[in-house]
Amino acid sequence: MAKISIIVPVYNVEPFLRPCLDSILSQTISDWECVLVDDGSKDNSGQICDEYAGRDNRFVVVHKQNEGVAKARITAFEHSHGELITFIDSDDTVLPLYLEKLSRPILEENADMVSCDFNAVRDDITKKARKKRSGIFVGEEIKDFVCNSFLYDTIVRDYGIACFLWTKMVRREYIQEGLKQGEGFWFAEDQIALLQMLLQIKKLVILPDNLYNYVLHEGQVTQRYEWGIWDNIIRMLSKVQELTHGLPVKAGLRKRTWLHIKRTIDLKMLTKDMAKETFIRHLSQMRETPYMKEYFCHLTTGFGKKDLKIYWLLKLRLYGVFYDNAMC
């Protein structure tokens, strides 16, 4: 039985899937299985999965109807056997030392979760992502880390850990409940799953190594605006409130809310065929939700000039002015 299970949800990623699977085959350790869940792909992704499974029996393929990435990960976990679980998105790649370096602190230092840093790749240009925190966190230090760094790290002005399931390796016993918490979300579901795991583990190791290549392309959910994205974000942030009940996370949630606001607006800007009236309606709906009134309207974080302009235009409901300035 393989010690490490690699979970790879697959959906319409034909141009990227072979490089992903080849990078898994290039790992410096061989004691792994890779569970590929073809989530109802309409291109040749399912056939490529079968091809690799035919060549190497460490690949296990499950074909199912499309139910989204959260359900695909749950299905993959149910078909996995390893005591250590890691997640790789099917349009990304990993460096040869990925499995070896992530598994070592778990096997030798009794860690429950290990995270690494990543590179951002667009059009074959690789850039190291902004450096996150690294170090060892034990017991209550992990909850302190969640409150002070996971939601929003004031030092890096971002998240204090890559807030995705990829770049992580986790002991099996912490996986199931985390994946269950993320079910029902189509955006940021892995942030919910990861948060649940962080609140349960006893030892976290964050490595400074960039061992994962996050490939950016237009087909990704995170690279396009979807009409229901803000409703999903509000539900996600409300879920974060629920999971962190009793912890002093309000300041971090406010700042994280601001990051999501900016990201959503950036995605709207990329939607070039969106009419001004539609844009204003969406901004208004976003601005008037009860969650926004509680968290957005009382932001106290330090702003740069651009952020300050966005903040006041939204706070004063000057959506038309915002649109005219943003689209210039």
Separation CA 28–CA 11 (nearest Å): 27
For Cα atoms 116, 146, 193, give the angle at the middle one, nearest 5 degrees: 70
Share of the chain above pLDDT 70, in %: 85
For Cα atoms 49, 55, 60, give the angle at the middle one, nearest 5 degrees: 45
Coil, strand, or helix at residue 283?
helix
Q: Which of 6-10, 229-233, 235-239 has the lowest mean pLDDT?
A: 229-233
Pairing of strands 93-94, 32-39: unpaired
* 166: its two tokens: 């990829």
Stretch 299-322: mean pLDDT, rounded? 76
Task: Please give, one letter per residue, the 3-state secondary structure of 92-140.
Answer: CEECCCHHHHHHHHHHHHCCCEEEEEEEEEECCEEEECCCCCCEEEECH
What is the structure's pLDDT at 328?
46
Nearest Cα residue to 87 out of 160, 157, 172: 172
Separation CA 294–CA 315 (nearest Å): 12
Residue 218 DSSP symbol: T
Q: Quick count: other Cβ atoms within 10 Å of Cβ 302?
A: 10
Domain coordinates in residue numbering, the chain = 4-221, 241-326
What is the structure's pLDDT at 141?
94
Average confidence score pLDDT of the chain: 85
Give, in order, the Cα–Cα distances in Å from 128 to each of 43, 121, 142: 31, 9, 25
What is the structure's pLDDT at 202?
97
What is the structure's pLDDT at 78?
97
Residue pair 92/214 in contact (Cβ under 8 Å)? The answer is yes
Q: Where are the beta strands (DSSP E) in the chain?
A: 4-10, 32-39, 59-64, 84-87, 93-94, 113-122, 125-128, 135-138, 168-171, 203-215
What is the structure's pLDDT at 321?
82
Pairing of strands 59-64, 32-39: parallel
Nearest Cα residue to 101 out of 89, 79, 86: 86
CATH superfamily of 4-221: Spore Coat Polysaccharide Biosynthesis Protein SpsA; Chain A (3.90.550.10)
